[in-house]
Structure formats: C-alpha cells, structure tokens
Structure 1
Amino acid sequence: MKKHEILSPQSRAELFDPPRDPAAIVRHYTLSPDDLTLIRQRRRDANRLGFAVHLAYLKFPGRVLGSEETPAPEMLAFLARQLGIESGAYLEYAQRDETRREHLGEIQSHLRVRPFSRGDYRSVAEIATDEAIGTDRGHAIVAAMIETLRSRSILLPAPTILERIGLAARARARKQAHKNLIEGLEQRAINELQALIAVSDDRDRTRLAWLRDWREAPTQKNLVGVVERLQFVRSLGVGPDREQRILRARYRAIAKETAILSAQHLSRFDTPRRLAALVVFAREMEAILTDAALVMFDKMLGGVYRRADRTYRENLFHRAKALDASARALLHMAKAMLAAKESGEDQDAAVERSLGWERLKALVAETDIVVTNTREDNLIEIVERYPTVRRMIPVLLNVFVFRSWKPNDLLLDALELLRGLHAARPRHLPQRPPTAFLKATWRKLVGRGSTFDRRAYEVAVMMTLRDSLRSGDIWVEGSRAFRAFGDFLLPPETFVARRQEGE
C-alpha cells in the first residue's frame, strides 16, 4: 500500500469488484422475471448480454462498469447461461457509446438508483469520520461509506474518490483523538512528557529508551529497577482517565504505533500528535511495568520454592540414609539378643558385644530426632529463605495497591500489617495478626499467641499473595495481567443488548 492510499489492492478488489465465489455469484446475479423481461427487449444477443452485465454491476457491487473494463468472467458466464447466450457474444456489445449510455440510463430507472454527486460528499464524509473515530483500518472506513451509499440507492463513485474521503476522515479522527488525549494536561506534565525524548547533558540516552530497557531476570536488583521506572512513569502525572477519552480501538491503534517508534521519530511529529503519543506511552508503560514487576515477584517466589524443595528432598535423602543405618544396627543387635536367648546366654552381654549400650543410647537419640523432624511439606525450608522474601516485601507493598473480590479479605489486612511493620520496623508482630486466610499447614508453622514466628508469618503471607494473584482472588490496580475478573467480562448493559439482538 502506498503512503497516500487507504486501501490495499486486495481490499480494493474485495470492495469494488464483483465476487468470484460461486455462492455469492448466485446470490447477487440471479435475474428476476422483471430483469429478464427488460433484458429481452434488446434486439441482438450481444446487446442482451451487455445490458445484463450493466444491470449486474449496478446491482452489486453497485457501480458502473468502466468503458475499458472487462467484466468478471465468472459473472459473465453465469448471466449468459440464464439468457441462453454464448458468453463470447459480449465482445460485440456496445460498439457505439450512445448504446451504452442509453442502457445505463434505462437500468438506473429500473433499479431506482442514481449516480454519486457533489451533494453526497458531506454526508459520506460524516459516515467515514464516525467510522474512523474507532479504527484506522482503511477497509472498514471505506466499507462503511459503501454500505451507506447502497442503502441510499446511490451508485459508487470511482474508488479513488472514496479513498480520498476516507483518508481525510481518518486524519480528522486522529487529530480529534490527539486533542482529546492531551486536553487539560498541566504544563508540568507537558514538560515532563517532552523531556522523555530529549537527551540531557548527564545522560547518554533518552528517558524513553531507559523506560523501555529493563532486565527481565527475576532478581532483587532487577525488581528494584522495574519499580524505579514504574514510579517515574507515575510521577509524570498522566492519569488513567486519559484512556477513556477516546474509543478503545483508536487508543490501541495509537499504542501500537507508539510501541515501535523511537524518540527520533516522535520528535518529528507535530506537537499535539507527539504529546498524545507520549500520553499513551506513559499509560502503556505503567501497565507494562506493573505486570513486569508482579511477574518478577512471582518468579522470585517460585525460585524460593524450588530451592527450598530441593533442600527438602536432599534432607529427605539424608534422613533416609540415617534411618537405614539405624535400622541395620538395631537389626544386628536384635539378632544377637535372639541368638543369646536361644542359647541361654546373658542378653545384656549380647547387646554390649553387638552394639554397646552407649552406642545404642546415641543411636536411639539420633533416630528419634530424624523421625520427629520428618515432614510431608517443605515449608520450613521455605521459611529458611526469609531474607530473600523480606527484601522484596517493602519494594512490592509500597508500590502496588492490592484489591480483592471478597469483602473484608483478611489477606489484604495482613498485607497492610506487613507494610506497616517494614515502615516502622518493630521487632514483633501484634498479639493477634490475621491468620484465618492461611492454609492449615502454614498456621501450624506460624504458631499462635506469644509463640508467633514473624519470619514464618511474613513468608506465609507472601506465598499466599502469590497464589491469590495466580487464581485471580487478588487483583492489582493498574495491572492488565492481574486485573479484576470482571474486567474480562462484557459490561452488564452491553451483555443485555447483545442478548436481545441474538448475539
């Protein structure tokens, strides 16, 4: 598609040429009895077939067949069969222009259609502008104009005319969208946005490039880097209400364009367009960085879980080896005692000889510890990685606002408690921190009353937060990947309307 064209060759053919699909040909070009009566008033086969071709073109796609244009062969063959005429007869049609003009005038009267005129420009341009408000797609804009013209029984003008109208409408829609996006911006916000694409003396790249460039590896340093960028974007003063000022499709079109443009490209735009693009960039980056930080948090806790699980399995292996050694020693001693009993020997002497009382005492103590510490989960190993979890708590809780679909969700109370703990730095938990939201295994490990384990509690809360984010029970303001479940559904009024329309 050329720079100043709105339609690709494929779209132009689809909108302005007769269909080639057999079912569509039958639907559009089956001649009615009135059509056949009018056609058979022509004297020669060539005139009958030529008249039928003009009739077909004016019916659909709704335009005049060009004087130098060859009709679609599939359509020509279908019309010829209905008339009982060889399709080759068309080559002899309309050797005089007067004949062609007479036929077109008669067909327009028959179909009650009229040519496109200068008076139609304004109404068609309004249709194109209305459509362009919600989309940049040239096909959709031109298709809306064509549908309107057909409904008003107006013949389609040359494709270039509708394309020019569509281009102008799209330009107007873009300018209006840019105006709506930046209207009411404070001067400080304007200055900050303009500074995104400028290189200052103390930096070797623009803020725009810096915001787009962060490391995705799940580490504490990278998490801090993402959050730093997120806080900077929020400081620009571009509120979430900006997204609602234009239709979502138009917003997505600007966002898609801005995502691939460099600071150099943006600097070439006129001021309204440049500011609008930067507004959308700021809104998109806030959502992208929010999701990036939450995904990084999820992966970091996942790493904590995997390392703890690896340690847990290693401990299981060592416990199994210890129990195996104990079982073999005790089995050897038991056999010696049984043999002593059968032979009438002193069993104490058999124990002393096979294992020794001191060794037996130590072995029983070691085995008792191994059996006591055997668990079905790896929660203790997870808590042992508390320093890793502790470092991400203030980074996360001081930046994001967590919400729940449950009324009075105790997990949110626990998050607020942790936020306060890390801000004021007290050494102990309050006497009754919220725990009802924790799984029973975590509650048992956390303890109760004066025996509350702060380290276990903080780790348990963060692990539960991770699970709740994954399940959708908890959502985050400004996030797209972790947003409220209701955001994925149709608004109630839209659902009702579509159901009534049978959709």
Structure 2
Amino acid sequence: MAKRKLLKIQDRKALFDIPTDEDSLMRHYSLSPADRLEIEVRRREHNRLGFAVQLCLMRYPGRALMANEILPEAMLNYIAEQIGADPASFDLYARREETRMNHVARLLRYLEMRAATTEDRRAALLAAIEAATVTDKGATIATAIITTFRERRVLLPAANMIERMGLAARAIARRQAEAALITDLDPETLGTLDGLLAVDPAIGQTRYHWLRSAPEAPGAGNLVGLTERIAFLRMLGIDPRLQTRVPSGRWDQMIREGDATPAWLASDFNASRRRATIVAQIIKLGQKLTDDAVMMFIKLMGRLFSQVNNRKKQRHMSARLETSKALRLFLDTIVALQAANDMDADPMTILDRRVGWHRLLQVKPGLEAMVENS
C-alpha cells in the first residue's frame, strides 16, 4: 500500500526549499551589522561562513542546517559575498558535526529561539486541526503548523515530521466531523443507514444508488419518482440541521467525497466514515431533490400553460376565420339586396343568384354559436 502523503512535490518545495531568486535572497538572507559582528567572532573562514549560513537558515525557513546538506549555489554565494568568504570553504564546515551543533546552540540564544517542546508540538497540532476543519489541502494544513512554530520562535522540525503532524490533524478533523453527524443517532437508525448499501430486491439496486440516480428530465412520471425519493428520505428521519455541526469547508469536502463514492466503495469504509458519508448524502439529497421537484413542477406547469395557451390561440384564430367568412357572406347579402332594390327586382331571386340561399342556411348554426359564446 502506497504511503499516504500530505503534500504535493510543488508544495514541499514552496514550504521547505531554500529560495534562490534575488528578491527572496535579499529579503531573507541579508545580514545586519549586528549579525556580522556575531559572525566575525569566529576566527576561521569556514566557521564564519558556516555560522552565517546557520543563522540565515534558522531565520528562514526556520530550521537548522542538516547533516551533509548541499546548499543552493545562489544562496551560498550571496551569504559568502557579504562576509568576504570563499564559498568553497563551506565544504570543510559541513563535515564538522560538533561545530555545527555548538553553533546551533549559540544561535538559539542570539536569535531568541528554542527547540520545540511537547507543548509547542501540541499547539501546532491544534492549529493544524483547526485548518483541517475547513480544508483538506495539505499545503494549508502544513502552513498552519509552520506558522505556529514560527510565532512561538521555535525551530522547525524535519519536513517529514511536519507532514506526519498534518496527516494526523486531517484525520482528527475528519473523525470529529464524522462524530458530529452520527453520535446522536440510535442503533436502529445506524442499522438502517448500513442497509442502504445493500441491494433492495424490490428495485433491483441499492437504495443509496437509487436515491442518487433521480431523473432530471421534466415529466409527470419523473416528478413522481422525485416525490417517492423525497418521501423515502424523510422516512429515514435524519435531521438536516446536523449539517450545522460541521464547519462548511469540511462539509463541502465530505459532500465531494460522497458524490464520488459508489455504494460498493462506501461499504469498505470503516463504520464511522461510512455512516457519516451516508448522512451527509441524505441531507444533501433532501435539499437537492426538493429543489429539483419544485423546478420540475414549475416547468411542467409552464409547459401545460403553454399548451393551453396555444390551443386557445388556435381556437381564437379559427373563430376569427369563421367570423371573417360570416362577415363576408353578410356583406355579399347586403350588396345583393341593394342591387335588387336598385333594379326593382325580386330580392329573393337576386339573393339566391348572387349569394345562394343554401349558403346562408349553412352558416346559420355557426352564427348562432358565435352569438351564444359572446
């Protein structure tokens, strides 16, 4: 099994590597007059350079020189130039462990720093746990540890130690969030949650998968499917206010992990993580499916209204056409009667010839319907 890591390669470099760009060298490794006086007390060149390097490293990133450590050339040259030393002389200093340890002890007093104690490590761990309650990002958690040590003017432990502390803090934050969600649930409810991961013969799949595969396309049948799922969720009796017990950042992380976890994988989680994941999904789904059902209902009502409105428009257009025909026939009738009057002819004969009595009889039912509807 691969060893679990807190930091990505680029994160480790950003947090622990010695900077080499000019701006960072000037900001972190420029020696003050007091520094130079302290350095000049050392008589030999390699000791002066080694002492200066130790001083700079203990200031930033905040650690002592490691055994057989190879320093970046840019950093070594920058420090050596300030004290007039040959960078090559550092090789001799690097081989003298006793001298290095003596210099560390002296620099701790000079810089008013100290080695980390149990209390310091505890404070750093608490800071990491606090950071882990809002994010799973290793760089943020490790930064909280480093910042705490620096604020307490304590030498940083090894990078691997900081990473192990961060992993422990993240695990603790996760367990705290899990406990907040499931501590008050009775055994029967916990058993019901576990049962969601078993295949239900009635639907041929796990209820966990069924709940998360709700239909999305607007339709009467799909709306029924949503309401069935909402009713099932309410039957489980999980209080959605449990979400307020978990910090928002940690909650979002639990939701992301749950969204990516199929039922078969959730079954392999330990009991606490498994049940907390299911509870978080139930709360999220209760909110999401309710919103989806409301939106689907609105869309269906809009579609129905549109259909009714279209039918109404169609009827209106048909009525207008019939009205237009009736008015045209009425106009033709008036014209025929006027012609009969002008010619002093029989009106019925002219009317039948020009309009057609049978046409007038055909439109009579339609005219009666128009009068009644108006």
TM-score normalised by L of structure 1? 0.61
Is it true that 1:190 corresponds to 2:190 in the alignment?
yes
Please tell me whether the aligned partners of residues 28 and 59 of structure 1 are also in contact (alpha carbons under 8 angstroms). yes
Cα distance, 1:231 vs. partner? 0.8
What SS class does the counterpart of residue 148 from structure 2 fall into? helix
Bigger Cα displacement from structure 2, 199-208 vs 139-148: 199-208
Task: Determine the C-alpha separation between the residues in 1 that align with 2:346 and 2:69.
Answer: 117
Question: Counterpart of 2:90 in structure 1: which amino acid?
Answer: Y
CA gap 1:243/1:21 in 2 versus in 1, 3 angstroms: farther
- 2:120 is aligned to 120
- 1:147 is aligned to 147
- 2:165 is aligned to 165
What SS class does the counterpart of residue 66 from structure 2 fall into? coil
Residues 211-226 of structure 1: pairs in structure 2 closer than 5 A: 211-226=211-226
- 1:269 is aligned to 269
CA gap 1:329/1:347 in 2 versus in 1, 3 angstroms: farther
What SS class does the counterpart of residue 133 from structure 2 fall into? helix
Please tell me whether the aligned partners of residues 123 and 148 of structure 2 are also in contact (alpha carbons under 8 angstroms). no
What SS class does the counterpart of residue 63 from structure 1 fall into? coil
Task: Determine the C-alpha separation between the residues in 2 that align with 1:286 and 1:135.
Answer: 24
Is it true that 1:55 corresponds to 2:52 in the alignment?
no
- 1:92 is aligned to 89
Task: Determine the C-alpha separation between the residues in 2 that align with 1:26 and 1:368.
Answer: 96
- 1:422 is aligned to none
State the Cα deviation string for residues 164-190 of structure 1 (Å, max 9, x = none): 122222222322322221122123312
- 2:283 is aligned to 283
Task: Determine the C-alpha separation between the residues in 1 that align with 2:110 and 2:267.
Answer: 57
Question: Counterpart of 1:264 in structure 2: which amino acid?
Answer: W
Cα distance, 1:148 vs. partner? 0.7
Please tell me whether the aligned partners of residues 333 and 351 of structure 1 are also in contact (alpha carbons under 8 angstroms). no
Question: Counterpart of 2:188 in structure 1: which amino acid?
Answer: R
Task: Determine the C-alpha separation between the residues in 1 that align with 2:320 and 2:78.
Answer: 84
Task: Determine the C-alpha separation between the residues in 2 that align with 1:141 and 1:3.
Answer: 18
Please tell me whether the aligned partners of residues 114 and 155 of structure 2 are also in contact (alpha carbons under 8 angstroms). yes
- 2:256 is aligned to 256
What SS class does the counterpart of residue 153 from structure 1 fall into? coil
Task: Determine the C-alpha separation between the residues in 2 that align with 1:279 and 1:63.
Answer: 44
- 1:302 is aligned to 302
Cα distance, 1:160 vs. partner? 0.7
Q: Percent same amino acid among aligned pairs?
A: 35
Task: Determine the C-alpha separation between the residues in 2 that align with 1:310 and 1:80.
Answer: 87
Task: Determine the C-alpha separation between the residues in 2 that align with 1:91 and 1:348.
Answer: 134
Residues 475-490 of structure 1: pairs in structure 2 closer than 5 A: none
Please tell me whether the aligned partners of residues 196 and 208 of structure 1 are also in contact (alpha carbons under 8 angstroms). yes
Please tell me whether the aligned partners of residues 322 and 367 of structure 1 are also in contact (alpha carbons under 8 angstroms). no
What SS class does the counterpart of residue 217 from structure 1 fall into? coil
Q: Higher Cα Rg: structure 1 or 2?
A: 2
Cα distance, 1:159 vs. partner? 1.0
- 1:11 is aligned to 11
- Any unmatched runs of 5+ in structure 1? 374-503
Question: Counterpart of 1:92 in structure 2: which amino acid?
Answer: S
CA gap 1:354/1:43 in 2 versus in 1, 3 angstroms: farther
Please tell me whether the aligned partners of residues 53 and 71 of structure 1 are also in contact (alpha carbons under 8 angstroms). no
Q: Which has the higher contact order (CA 8 A, sep 6+)?
A: 2
Is it true that 1:180 corresponds to 2:180 in the alignment?
yes
CA gap 1:93/1:333 in 2 versus in 1, 3 angstroms: farther
- 1:489 is aligned to none
Please tell me whether the aligned partners of residues 94 and 100 of structure 1 are also in contact (alpha carbons under 8 angstroms). no
Task: Determine the C-alpha separation between the residues in 2 that align with 1:314 and 1:85.
Answer: 97
Cα distance, 1:214 vs. partner? 2.3
Task: Determine the C-alpha separation between the residues in 2 that align with 1:37 and 1:13.
Answer: 32
Cα distance, 1:202 vs. partner? 5.1
Cα distance, 1:152 vs. partner? 0.8
Cα distance, 1:15 vs. partner? 1.7
- Any unmatched runs of 5+ in structure 2? none
CA gap 1:173/1:351 in 2 versus in 1, 3 angstroms: farther
Bigger Cα displacement from structure 2, 269-278 vs 47-56: 47-56
CA gap 1:99/1:326 in 2 versus in 1, 3 angstroms: farther
Cα distance, 1:278 vs. partner? 2.0
State the Cα deviation string for residues 83-129 of structure 1 (Å, max 9, x = none): 3969xx43432413255445544443332222334553333223323
Please tell me whether the aligned partners of residues 65 and 71 of structure 1 are also in contact (alpha carbons under 8 angstroms). no
What SS class does the counterpart of residue 218 from structure 2 fall into? coil
Cα distance, 1:330 vs. partner? 7.2
Cα distance, 1:325 vs. partner? 5.5
Residues 456-471 of structure 1: pairs in structure 2 closer than 5 A: none
CA gap 1:265/1:326 in 2 versus in 1, 3 angstroms: same
Task: Determine the C-alpha separation between the residues in 2 that align with 1:178 and 1:37.
Answer: 56
What SS class does the counterpart of residue 140 from structure 2 fall into? helix
Please tell me whether the aligned partners of residues 51 and 103 of structure 1 are also in contact (alpha carbons under 8 angstroms). yes
Cα distance, 1:50 vs. partner? 5.2
Cα distance, 1:18 vs. partner? 3.7
- 1:238 is aligned to 238
- 2:293 is aligned to 293
Please tell me whether the aligned partners of residues 135 and 249 of structure 2 are also in contact (alpha carbons under 8 angstroms). yes
Question: Counterpart of 1:260 in structure 2: which amino acid?
Answer: A
Bigger Cα displacement from structure 2, 65-74 vs 218-227: 65-74
Bigger Cα displacement from structure 2, 208-217 vs 70-79: 70-79
CA gap 1:351/1:84 in 2 versus in 1, 3 angstroms: farther
CA gap 1:203/1:354 in 2 versus in 1, 3 angstroms: closer
**Cα root mean square deviation, aligned:** 4.1
- 1:380 is aligned to none
Is it true that 1:137 corresponds to 2:134 in the alignment?
no
Residues 444-459 of structure 1: pairs in structure 2 closer than 5 A: none
Please tell me whether the aligned partners of residues 132 and 141 of structure 2 are also in contact (alpha carbons under 8 angstroms). yes
Please tell me whether the aligned partners of residues 54 and 64 of structure 1 are also in contact (alpha carbons under 8 angstroms). yes
Please tell me whether the aligned partners of residues 77 and 87 of structure 2 are also in contact (alpha carbons under 8 angstroms). no
